[in-house]
Amino acid sequence: MSPESLQSIYALILGLAIAGALSTGYQIFAERPASFRLLDEARSKALVAVPFLVFAAPFIILRNTIRGARIENRGFVPVLAATMIAGFWGLSCGMVIMGLLRATGFGG
């Protein structure tokens, strides 16, 4: 396996893990699941929610996809599309996080 492929796999795993940790932490403290409805809050809260949602979005998308597939009997194609979107988003977030870790000296 090439080093680039391995780095992409690590970035995907890191992005999805951070998304899950952020969403779960929010749910523990707010006692409600994280959702895109955070953007409907007052303007100051919505501005604070944007950076959080950027990194938590892959988990929220996957959670909503799984719930939608069970409740609404969605077909294969919408579930596949949502999973691919969440995967690419998680990969992108993971690459950003890996870049930040390298810039601070923790990424080797």
Token digits for 72?
């609404």
Burial class (CB in 10 A: 0-12, 13-18, 19+), 67: exposed
43-71 and 76-104 helices, crossing angle to 10°: 140
Q: Give pLDDT tens digits along the chain (108 positions).
A: 899 999 999 999 999 999 999 999 999 999 999 999 988 887 888 888 999 999 999 999 999 999 988 898 888 899 999 999 999 999 999 999 999 999 998 866
Give the C-alpha distances (Å, rounded to integers) separating 60 from 26, 40, 53, 95: 12, 16, 9, 19
**Would the CA dihedral through 34, 39, 41, 46 be positive or negative?**
positive
